[in-house]
Structure 1
């Protein structure tokens, strides 16, 4: 029997929340990501529990124990209990009654096995008791440890319950899969056969999954599998996935942190299927700025975006990022044009004034930002 030894199991908060349930005769199991990540040594951010207690009962017990309670998803069985400032999402065991490819109608269950059977991947159907004892009804422990992302049961059935699981399959492979093992063939085939189901998903859900996938340390193998299965074209028509493979290498060599928007810009293609925030769209538009000298891009775009642009350009040419260009971009970002319209007035007005300013700026950039105000004014721009 596998036992989990994780520091978050031993905190007073975790013990108190579990005791709230178990002292009342109910089951308490940590579930999903926190168990999976602790098992493989990955960071744990959220603590989720599942129980046979119904949501109203969970709320009653939590309030009696003095915890703050938020009915975050009570219709679906989820209550958030906040203990000493830390949130614990507690969801009643569930089983699917009906699904339409986007949403599921669920019923509460009394058995952990029913709850496990409705989950997407075996590595997510992992449960840990308050003492660390792991319940693994579907063989998720060896899958998680080996880096095998496998659907629970029949892959096509799981996908048709919620077509977003196609994108989750690739996202989980990007984060937790072992590229040396390759992606699960049955899962990949099921994704290919059901790729048209993605068309019915909201742009918000598709965007969220894609950005999470592209945030992985190296999403290139997953994205290549998406392209081969016909999934990538459903979300990014015209994307050039080969550039991503090189970009990841460029990032690693240059010490750049993984960035989903940089990678999305490198992939290119149509973003019609995505719904980005205004800030995200603005940044990607900046990354499509016409290629120029490193200094000019730093001056016009700022250091961060200019370096991202340089990394994408290098990847598209199959080259590494030149440290000299990075430094030039940083120098350019620190510059301020030393002349203003007032320097050319009143001799110049209207279109002539605008043209003089443009010419002055171009000469100044070409000089490597060395021409002074007096030199630019003396030459009339």
Structure 2
């Protein structure tokens, strides 16, 4: 199959400069992987990756000669990063794997394009292109798999997984993004049998992979397969079983929530688990853990008043997600007015301050804090109706009484 791609990254001056630098003395260079794959299907742009038939030292020398900054990221494994005008290009020396240990493989440089293709994970990632956009499919069926939206390992699934156990999760992630229909049985069988190998993968890598999976337009089929193969027990045991993801995806589409927020999906996936445990499991940042906690459901929205309250307590975005999660999980059906109510609640600001209470006789300390908290509770309970004068008066009466 002869194919030529067109993409903005291919025509960019930075891309042309890096290509010229790497091919200055006749080296064999090709674009590879996601940038080619997505250009074929007119998908969103990805990072621009290249391969070269030189050892990493040779790639660095070529880039240095052209005055292009180099970051030796992954140098020991044949990868360097070229940085030009704020854009990064990952350049891998074509190589073959030897003595894999399930996390990373020792490599030998100097492979040809077929050998390089055969060591990649999935057929759809083994596509190459030259500077003119001519696509090459060394293994012979990458393009047909991409056209069929079929995600499968190159060669033996078990062998590919044992080279890097993170490929178990990558299979599900790539199916969520690029696959259609049910997943390929040989890959699922291998993932089920080797799922325990995920214990050898860092939690940071697992967390990043799960978040990428959850950001797919519809991860429902992939998540069901992760659960059925037993992979989820090793990747995220805090996840609930039989989560209603199809219902959540339908609600997201109904309300035009694009791009997808993986936090909302993670909150549904781990509903009932402590956010701190999920944070530790996936090595999430403290900020992400706090956002996850804000989406845990403590009470359902049943009317405009509770919608405004939730908007005030958690902010518009988190409150909206709580509403969607509860509805997807069999809670109250969403009323159109609740979105506006949530936004109204999020705009509310407590009309009384600590200084207002100090002006009527409070002194800084625990009693002042308790009085301010009580005023806020009364104000929220009134559906944000009580004004500053009433709240101050009530606080003053409480102080005098007590």
- Work out which of the residue numbers 333, 339, 349 in structure 2 matches 1:336: 349
SS of residue matched to 1:97: strand
Provide, for residues 117-148 of structure 1, a one-character-per-residue CA deviation record: whole Å limited to 9, x for no partner: 11000000111112222221221111112211
Is the 2:243–2:268 contact (alpha carbons within 8 Å) kept by the matching residues of 1? Answer: no
Distance in 1 (alpha carbons) for counterparts of 2:55 and 2:83: 18
In the TM superposition, residue 60 of structure 1 has moved relative to its aligned partner by 1.7
Is the 1:250–1:321 contact (alpha carbons within 8 Å) kept by the matching residues of 2? Answer: no
Structure 2 residues without counterparts, runs of 5 or longer: 301-305
SS of residue matched to 1:132: coil
In the TM superposition, residue 96 of structure 1 has moved relative to its aligned partner by 0.5
Kindly indicate whether residue 117 of structure 2 is the aligned counterpart of residue 102 of structure 1.
no
> What residue in structure 1 maps to residue 384 of structure 2?
369
Distance in 1 (alpha carbons) for counterparts of 2:128 and 2:191: 27
> What residue in structure 1 maps to residue 178 of structure 2?
176
User: Aligned pair count?
Assistant: 379
Kindly indicate whether residue 281 of structure 2 is the aligned counterpart of residue 273 of structure 1.
yes
Distance in 2 (alpha carbons) for counterparts of 1:42 and 1:281: 31
Distance in 2 (alpha carbons) for counterparts of 1:163 and 1:366: 52
SS of residue matched to 2:90: strand
Matches within 5 A, 1:62-81: 62-81=63-82
Is the 1:109–1:115 contact (alpha carbons within 8 Å) kept by the matching residues of 2? Answer: no
In the TM superposition, residue 43 of structure 1 has moved relative to its aligned partner by 1.5
1:86–1:351 CA distance, 2 compared to 1 (3 A): closer
In the TM superposition, residue 192 of structure 1 has moved relative to its aligned partner by 0.9
SS of residue matched to 1:329: helix
Provide, for residues 22-66 of structure 1, a one-character-per-residue CA deviation record: whole Å limited to 9, x for no partner: 341211100000000000111123111101122222222222223
In the TM superposition, residue 354 of structure 1 has moved relative to its aligned partner by 5.8
Is the 2:307–2:338 contact (alpha carbons within 8 Å) kept by the matching residues of 1? Answer: yes
Please say which of residues 251-260 and 150-159 is displaced more in the overlay: 251-260
Distance in 2 (alpha carbons) for counterparts of 1:304 and 1:68: 40
> What residue in structure 2 maps to residue 36 of structure 1?
37
Is the 1:34–1:46 contact (alpha carbons within 8 Å) kept by the matching residues of 2? Answer: yes
Is the 1:192–1:230 contact (alpha carbons within 8 Å) kept by the matching residues of 2? Answer: yes
Is the 1:220–1:241 contact (alpha carbons within 8 Å) kept by the matching residues of 2? Answer: no
Please say which of residues 121-130 and 291-300 is displaced more in the overlay: 291-300
TM-score, normalization: structure 1? 0.92
What is the RMSD computed on CA atoms of the aligned residues?
Answer: 2.3
- Work out which of the residue numbers 143, 146, 149 in structure 2 matches 1:147: 149
Provide, for residues 81-111 of structure 1, a one-character-per-residue CA deviation record: whole Å limited to 9, x for no partner: 2344432221110111111111111111231
Provide, for residues 251-309 of structure 1, a one-character-per-residue CA deviation record: whole Å limited to 9, x for no partner: 11112231111111111146253111110111111222522622111111111211111
Distance in 2 (alpha carbons) for counterparts of 1:66 and 1:150: 40
